[in-house]
Amino acid sequence: MSSDASLSTISAEQEKKAAAGNSVIAALFLTSMKLVMGFITGSLGILAEAAHSGLDLVAAIVTFLAVHVSGKPADHDHTYGHGKVENFSALIETVLLFITCAWIIYEAVQRVFFRSIEINPSLWAFLVMAVSIGIDVSRSRMLYSAARKHHSQALEADALHFSTDVWSSSVVIGGLLLVWLGKNVFPRHAALLQKSDAVAALGVAFIVLLVSYKLGKRTIDVLLDRAPDGLPQKISKAAGGIEGVMSVGPVRLRRSGPSYFVDMTVDVDRNLSFERTHAIAESVEACVQSVTPGADVVIHTDPREVERETMAKRIRAVAYRNQMSVHNISMHENKDRVYVDLHLEVDDHLSLQQAHEMATHIEKDLKEDMPEIVHVNTHIESRGTGMGNGVDVTSREQRIVEKVKQLTDEIAGASRCHNVMVQRHGDRFSVSLHCNFEKELSIIQVHDMSTRIEERLKDRIPGLDRVLVHEEPKGR
């Protein structure tokens, strides 16, 4: 990780900790203020709000601790980091919310149907709730901003608590207002309006229950590694547009705190080089991170057969997979049974036993990869990896040069052979030559003629063991 990235990570953690710490202070102040005023006025609505704020205080403390722990890097026991601590803290907050709502609903039902408690709404009660709304609005905005910036579910849960306080406090103010009207404006309906405070408390409870359900569902989804709706499909579609990707396999996605972890498989042409395959994987990784910034991405590439891939290409792919080289591949089909002839290139220093074992291995691999192949004939030949000690004797062996031109022209046509070079290797010779062929000939026809030239030169020129024919189109 670069120093800039490290500084950015440290700064993010400091901002999250500062936001969580300020929430603890705000929740402590609001809880104390509402609790005192609730006992003074006897208002269940305010006491419910005090309980709600007390819960917020506990939640804020849990969030503060969770943010501290979640910032720790991955270790031997926690290979995905400690981000789940934030999600777990949100689950704790949800459970506390449900417990508080159950108490508020029970007490409200008691006051509405079974007992009556005198409530004395005062100016101070209204001021306390107004101050509470102002603080809640300020804290929720600050927390939402930090949560979005750093993708923190713990801070988002804390922000959700403060934002619901705004609505529930408004409901309590409404209940207190109705009680005040019953005492001072509509005395005939004072008994009925006195119950409005308890009804307001029920309103607070149901608001909190609704929010708690949504928060709890999202928290459990993360803890159970449920992928966000539509995100795997979005990643799959984006990766499928990368050049070289034939298709996209399973996309596995999980979230831990603010971080996403993505594991996915892409299919690529099995004939591509390792370097090209790796480049495709890096392009897919960059694409995924553009969809989910900061994600930890693991790309697995699966080699796949290209549609309508020729059998000769498949044979070369199998050879390449075994770090071998083949040429002169020919195939014969008889009643859906395929017979293959090929030339296998091996290093000069290998013994016949070692070269034969290589041939046997590739023959077996070809049959396993393509069951339609029933037999493979392998011609073993030198790859030319040894360092020769040949001496150029072209000028001294004009007899051989003229013989090469004569025999070559008999097969290819008059004046086709040129640039003949003769080398001596001990008591043996090797010859290389250029030969012009008609442009319209197929490569198979040219290869056949070149093979005939090689065989005739070796047969007619004593001591000649190697011939290289360089084919050129006539008129070049």
Task: Tell me the CATH number at 26.
Answer: 1.20.1510.10
| 87, 222 contact by CB (below 8 A) | yes
Same domain, 404 and 377: no
User: Is pLDDT at 196 greater than 90 in this prediction?
Assistant: no
Query: Is residue 2 assigned to a domain?
Result: no
* Domain boundary, last residue among 179, 203, 223: 223
Q: Give the pLDDT mean for 172-197.
A: 67
Place 308 in a pLDDT band, splitting at 50, 70 and 90.
Answer: very low
**How high is the pLDDT of residue 418?**
92
* Domain boundary, last residue among 223, 242, 257: 223
Higher-pLDDT residue of 156 and 451 is: 451
User: Is pLDDT at 162 greater than 70 in this prediction?
Assistant: no
Place 36 in a pLDDT band, splitting at 50, 70 and 90.
Answer: confident
Same domain, 377 and 241: no
Query: Is residue 4 assigned to a domain?
Result: no
Highest mean pLDDT out of 185-199, 201-215, 276-290, 328-342: 276-290
Rg of the chain over Cα atoms, rounded to whole angstroms, equals 42
**How high is the pLDDT of residue 247?**
87
pLDDT in tens, 334-379: 777 888 888 888 887 778 788 888 889 999 999 888 888 888 888 8
For the chain, what is the mean pLDDT? Answer: 77
Residue range(s) defining the domain that contains residue 184: 10-223
Same domain, 22 and 138: yes
Q: Residue 304, by phi and psi: left (phi above 0), alpha (psi -120 to 50) or beta?
A: beta
Higher-pLDDT residue of 281 and 14 is: 281
**How high is the pLDDT of residue 5?**
42
User: Is pLDDT at 207 greater than 60 in this prediction?
Assistant: yes
pLDDT in tens, 49-80: 677 667 767 767 777 776 666 666 666 766 66
Same domain, 118 and 208: yes
**How high is the pLDDT of residue 6?**
43
Place 407 in a pLDDT band, splitting at 50, 70 and 90.
Answer: very high
* Count of structural domains, the chain: 4
Q: Give the pLDDT mean for 254-259.
A: 71
Asked which of 65-69, 133-137, 424-428 is least confident by mean pLDDT, the reply is 65-69
Q: Give the pLDDT mean for 102-111.
A: 76
Query: Is residue 256 assigned to a domain?
Result: yes
User: Is pLDDT at 7 greater than 50 in this prediction?
Assistant: no
Query: Is residue 70 assigned to a domain?
Result: yes
Helices (H), 185-230: 190-194, 196-223
Q: Give the pLDDT mean for 9-22.
A: 64
Query: Is residue 143 assigned to a domain?
Result: yes
Phi, psi (5° rounding) for residue 411?
-95, -45
Same domain, 213 and 88: yes
Same domain, 169 and 115: yes
Query: Is residue 23 assigned to a domain?
Result: yes
**How high is the pLDDT of residue 161?**
63
* Domain boundary, last residue among 334, 352, 382: 382
- Tracing tokens 């996209």 back to the chain, one arrives at 248
Q: Give the pLDDT mean for 249-264.
A: 80
- Enumerate residues 6+ apart whose C-beta is below 8 A from 116: 191, 194
Q: What percent of the chain has pLDDT over 90?
A: 11
Same domain, 335 and 418: no
CATH code for the domain of 413: 3.30.70.1350
Cα four-point dihedral sign 116, 122, 124, 126? positive
Same domain, 283 and 180: no
The residue type of 314 is: R
Same domain, 112 and 209: yes
Query: Is residue 239 assigned to a domain?
Result: yes
Same domain, 113 and 194: yes
Higher-pLDDT residue of 214 and 125 is: 214
Same domain, 240 and 275: yes
Same domain, 60 and 132: yes
Phi, psi (5° rounding) for residue 430?
-130, 150
pTM of whole model > 0.85?
Answer: no
**How high is the pLDDT of residue 476?**
59
